[in-house]
Structure 1
Amino acid sequence: MRSLPLLLLAFGSLLASATSAATRPPNVVFFLADDLGQRDLGVYGSSFYETPNLDRMARDGARFTDAYAACPVCSPTRASIMTGQWPQRTGVTDYIGAPFTPDAWKRNTKLRPAPYSDRLALDTPTLAKAMKAAGYATFFAGKWHLGPEGWWPENQGFDHNKGGNDRGGPYGGGRYFSPYGNPRLTDGPPGEHLTDRLATETTAFIEANRDRPFFAYYSFYDVHTPLMAREDLKQKYEEKRRRLNLREAWGREDERDVRLVQEHVVYAAMVEAMDLAVGKVLAKLDELGLRENTIVIFTSDNGGLSTSEGWPTSNLPLRGGKGWLYEGGIREPLIVRWPGVVQPGRLITTPVSSPDFFPTLLDVAGARPQSGQVLDGVSLVPVLKGGTLPERALYWHYPHYGNQGGGPGAAIRRGDWKLIEWSEGPRVELFNLADNLGEKTDRAAQEPARVTALRDELHAWQKNVGARFPIPNLEYDPAKPSGRASVRPTGDVAPKGKKKSE
């Protein structure tokens, strides 16, 4: 009989714990892939790359068909996710590490790119700061690329930082294998795989914070260059490539070759390693009984590499790839699993973009933005619950020359119509994405009134966000080789001249 009070106490504690778990705001796990094209997942149509965990996550949740990155290169999209703003408001409009003043430009191009900020300002309201203020434990793993030391994740609202620094890829030590040479990640046993190690760090954080709301942000280094893979996975795809009798095929995008077939063995192995890491984190949520009260989001920061730096993937039927304002450079995979809220197997066709994640997660957490804070995105919670969003336009402004062959320009999508205004010229292209997803038929000449309306709307937006523009390059010599051309290399690594900061 003396044990009865203890039993009642234990029962009361369990009841209190269950009640607390049921009433506290959802946990958040956010996966951000690097350089992953929309068509690089099985659930988005790839028949060569294998992504069973992400395919299952899509079956258990919602898959977006028209999700976009805010920029065709990485750092601006990452700044947009962190701030809920278009990159132009943050000043980060190119990958950090590119020559960021017009005077530093040495390439033979018609224009000199606009200057941009090489760090995300410390007084910026970030997603991590907002989640922390809402009572969440905050964790970052992987690629940061939003400024030098002093502007790293721990300076922007994250309680923990595993591997985030100024680099655009895993360029220290053994790169994707230990020793890492990473100032924010201790080395593991020789040969340890970075992708799996960061998944282990993420699961350890989740387990340590299982009894409180947490925000875990795993920002993959995969599938960014250097193109390196586990030997067992590489052999698997070498055999699969032979079995399917796949061969290289090439097209042309302006002055660049563009890959037309997904058959790159090392890249396929990197995609699967990324998928395995996602599976490891999802399995931990299941093991700890946290699945039902956790929203999981997976997306990417720009399109897949198809015209440069190893040319590892094809984005077909989307045109172009990373560094281009065509759909292959900006249309992304987006999968959201939220048990009890998102109906399993939903297909969402609403166009959405990177700035939407900040207000969405504030909504999930039951939090509010700071007084006076500018948010360009909208909460996706209504559409995740089966509703709709007000019609709106999406915008892009990239006043730079990327390493992938694309030139400076801007774009607007409203409804099914997309207009691109290229700065060289300037000239415009108009596409109807409903019947021309591959952007092969330019309708600008047939739709002058629509061109004028969309261009005027784009220009008004550029003025509103304080967009900067390229200027004429007085040293441009049309008789010399173009600064946009490139020679396709052979082998599985990027050209030696590639800037490691990208």
Structure 2
Amino acid sequence: MIALINHKWRDRFCIYFNLKILTSSIVFLVLSLINPSVQGQNHQPNIVFILADDLGWADLPVYGNTFNEAPHLTKLAEEGIQFMKAYAAAPVCSPSRASIQSGQYPPRVGITDFITGHWRPYEEVRVPINRTQFLPTEITTIAESLKSAGYATAYFGKWHLGNGPDHHPLAQGYDEANVGTGFYNVNMIPSRSEDKSQRLSERITNYGTDFIRKNKDQPFFLFLSHYDVHVQLDADHDLIEKYQSKAKDPTYPSNPIYAAMIEHIDRSVARITQVLEDEGLSDNTMVLFFSDNGGLISRFDQIPLVATSKLPLINDEPLQYIASSNAPLRSEKGTVYEGGIREPLIIKWPAIISGGQVSDALVSSVDFFPTILDVAGASPPAGQTLDGISLLPTLSSGTHNPERAIFWHYPVYHHDVPASAIRKGDWKLIENLVTKETALYNLSADISEAMDLSRLYPEKTKALYALLQEWQEKTGAEFPSPNPDFDSEKRYRWGTHPDRK
């Protein structure tokens, strides 16, 4: 019965979407006859993916934050669709970013921790090491698929999926790419002739606007990957002073440097959307805004998280150690609690999406690959498993499966113990990979994951755990093992990862 319903919906959507394309083509033909300058513009939608680093679900005003300011992201939501239940496939950057580029869950890719990874040599268990410390070259990336469909492709900003030339975005399907590290005066690889006195967020935005103008007459895919709001916290002095003078929200840390970094991202979004408007590309461009993992509250190693040059601005305040809060979500980056994995997601595409929508659809970062393939009319890579689903029905009509299941596997120590998780509908189960204990939460009644319901709902716990184990086996998930060097007195010490030696 479910399969029959799915086939009926798919058939109806295909008819609807094809009619939209046909209508657009007729309108375009009429306009081109009236105005010859329209001729030569592309029909395939352009795609712009803007990714923030460590930005939390609760950090943006459109998600309820009253201290930080991001008017252009609020406008993007007003003109598109805002997702309330969107998730990164991992609570740290590299595996989450790999899931976007590959369309696969991190354990299937072989990257389950950031590259190269965390390491506690004396802990109770020895955690698995990434099977690969770069995005595997045999994987067909989203850029490679779009190139095959006639798209110009570009990647600017943070990559964190391998440093060598064989693993640079230029070797992974991107026609243009510049990646680097830091915030100000840093070198990009490959180098560019530019003003290095500009903040890095401005520089990579410049790359993006140049790419859009250069490729405005053909379909393009632009991936703009910010370093904000990752530690060490750093921002322009004028914006820091603005937030220092602003009244604090008593329910939120109100870190002025963190708030300034959010505004840097917002300004970048404004510049990208403005150039799309100026070039007449806005209606035919899908813009996605997302973050790679949940917000950071404090550093795992408990040292100040403010850049050395900005420490005098904070003096001896606790805000030297506290970046943000994910409340009402529990915990932070580096955990499979909601604060570590739930993300802001906003998508604008005027040709298909009616503005001002708020969606409760369950979304994982593995969904972006199949969604973008559908948008571009590109074929899935032969022989490559895609773990996600296309969001196109949700974008066009709001249709989604409220009982969908999505998964996480984070088998390392970070801000919590190694753990796996499944969310199916409103229910979420977390497995402690050290003790094998499970906890069950109902997120519709308890978004803060404060009450473990596993003893009250044993059948639900059993059913979700069985689904999680089946998924772990299917994706080749690797697990911690007993540590022969376990030392209870040294267990919390951080060591050098074996792959860094």
Which one of 459, 464, 469 corresponds to residue 474 of structure 2?
464
Q: For residue 422 of structure 1, what is the aligned residue in structure 2? A: 432
Structure 1: state its 5+ residue gaps.
1-10, 100-104, 165-169, 248-259, 486-496
Determine helix, strand or coil for the equivalent of 2:324.
Answer: coil
Q: For residue 368 of structure 2, what is the aligned residue in structure 1? A: 357
Q: Is the 8 A contact 2:178 2:189 kept in 1?
A: no
2:48 matches 1:36: no
2:345 matches 1:330: no
Q: For residue 126 of structure 2, what is the aligned residue in structure 1? A: 112
User: Structure 1's 268 and 185: CA in aligned 2 closer, same or farther, altered over 3 A?
Assistant: farther
Q: Is the 8 A contact 2:121 2:485 kept in 1?
A: no
Question: Any residues of structure 2 matched to 1:225-304 within 5 Å, and which?
Answer: 225-240=231-246, 243-244=247-248, 261-304=252-295
Q: Is the 8 A contact 2:92 2:292 kept in 1?
A: yes
What do residues 324-361 of structure 1 show as CA deviations (whole Å, max 9, x unaligned)? 11000000000000003111000010111001000000
Q: Is the 8 A contact 2:368 2:388 kept in 1?
A: yes
2:420 matches 1:410: yes
Question: Any residues of structure 2 matched to 1:102-501 within 5 Å, and which?
Answer: 105-116=119-130, 117-149=132-164, 150-163=166-179, 170=181, 175-178=182-185, 180-186=186-192, 188-189=194-195, 191-240=197-246, 243-244=247-248, 261-308=252-299, 310=305, 311-390=322-401, 391-402=403-414, 405-480=415-490, 482-483=492-493
User: Structure 1's 12 and 476: CA in aligned 2 closer, same or farther, altered over 3 A?
Assistant: closer
What do residues 448-479 of structure 1 show as CA deviations (whole Å, max 9, x unaligned)? 11111110110000000010111111222224
Return the alpha-carbon distance in structure 2 between the equivalents of residues 190 and 83 of structure 1.
Answer: 32
Structure 2: state its 5+ residue gaps.
1-30, 306-321
Return the alpha-carbon distance in structure 2 between the equivalents of residues 13 and 212 of structure 1.
Answer: 19
With the length of structure 1 as denominator, give the TM-score of the two structures.
Answer: 0.85
Return the alpha-carbon distance in structure 2 between the equivalents of residues 481 and 372 of structure 1.
Answer: 43
Return the alpha-carbon distance in structure 2 between the equivalents of residues 349 and 321 of structure 1.
Answer: 22
User: Structure 1's 481 and 91: CA in aligned 2 closer, same or farther, altered over 3 A?
Assistant: closer
Determine helix, strand or coil for the equivalent of 2:299.
Answer: coil
Determine helix, strand or coil for the equivalent of 1:135.
Answer: coil
What do residues 389-420 of structure 1 show as CA deviations (whole Å, max 9, x unaligned)? 34420000011112xx2211100000100000
Determine helix, strand or coil for the equivalent of 2:387.
Answer: coil
Q: How far did residue 107 of structure 1 move?
A: 3.3
Q: Is the 8 A contact 1:181 1:187 kept in 2?
A: no
Query: Percent same amino acid at aligned positions?
Result: 43
Return the alpha-carbon distance in structure 1 between the equivalents of residues 39 and 377 of structure 2.
Answer: 18
Determine helix, strand or coil for the equivalent of 2:222.
Answer: strand
Q: How far did residue 123 of structure 1 move?
A: 1.7
Return the alpha-carbon distance in structure 2 between the equivalents of residues 459 and 406 of structure 1.
Answer: 21
Letter aligned with residue 93 of structure 1: T
Q: Is the 8 A contact 1:307 1:320 kept in 2?
A: no
What do residues 169-195 of structure 1 show as CA deviations (whole Å, max 9, x unaligned)? x2xxxx3112x1333343643531110
Determine helix, strand or coil for the equivalent of 1:444.
Answer: coil
Q: For residue 488 of structure 1, what is the aligned residue in structure 2? A: none
Q: Is the 8 A contact 1:30 1:216 kept in 2?
A: yes
2:69 matches 1:69: no
Letter aligned with residue 232 of structure 1: D
Determine helix, strand or coil for the equivalent of 1:29.
Answer: strand
Q: How far did residue 121 of structure 1 move?
A: 1.1
Return the alpha-carbon distance in structure 1 between the equivalents of residues 484 and 457 of structure 2.
Answer: 34
What do residues 128-166 of structure 1 show as CA deviations (whole Å, max 9, x unaligned)? 0011111000011100010121201000000001225xx
What do residues 352-374 of structure 1 show as CA deviations (whole Å, max 9, x unaligned)? 10010000000000111122221
User: Structure 1's 106 and 308: CA in aligned 2 closer, same or farther, altered over 3 A?
Assistant: closer
What do residues 225-266 of structure 1 show as CA deviations (whole Å, max 9, x unaligned)? 2211001001001101xx34x56xxxxxxxxxxxx6231111
Question: Any residues of structure 2 matched to 1:13-92 within 5 Å, and which?
Answer: 15=35, 18=38, 20-21=40-41, 24-92=43-111
Q: Is the 8 A contact 2:139 2:384 kept in 1?
A: no
Letter aligned with residue 444 of structure 1: S
Q: How far did residue 14 of structure 1 move?
A: 7.4
Q: How far did residue 19 of structure 1 move?
A: 5.2
Q: For residue 489 of structure 1, what is the aligned residue in structure 2? A: none
What do residues 261-280 of structure 1 show as CA deviations (whole Å, max 9, x unaligned)? 23111111101011101111
Determine helix, strand or coil for the equivalent of 1:411.
Answer: strand
What do residues 5-46 of structure 1 show as CA deviations (whole Å, max 9, x unaligned)? xxxxxx97875653553x611000000111000111110111
Letter aligned with residue 427 of structure 1: E
Return the alpha-carbon distance in structure 2 between the equivalents of residues 440 and 465 of structure 1.
Answer: 30
With the length of structure 2 as denominator, give the TM-score of the two structures.
Answer: 0.85
Q: Is the 8 A contact 1:108 1:483 kept in 2?
A: yes
Return the alpha-carbon distance in structure 2 between the equivalents of residues 446 and 61 of structure 1.
Answer: 40
Return the alpha-carbon distance in structure 2 between the equivalents of residues 185 and 266 of structure 1.
Answer: 28
Return the alpha-carbon distance in structure 1 between the equivalents of residues 463 and 47 of structure 2.
Answer: 40
User: Structure 1's 20 and 182: CA in aligned 2 closer, same or farther, altered over 3 A?
Assistant: closer
Q: Is the 8 A contact 2:81 2:359 kept in 1?
A: yes
- 4+ residue runs of structure 1 moved beyond 3 angstroms? 11-17, 185-190
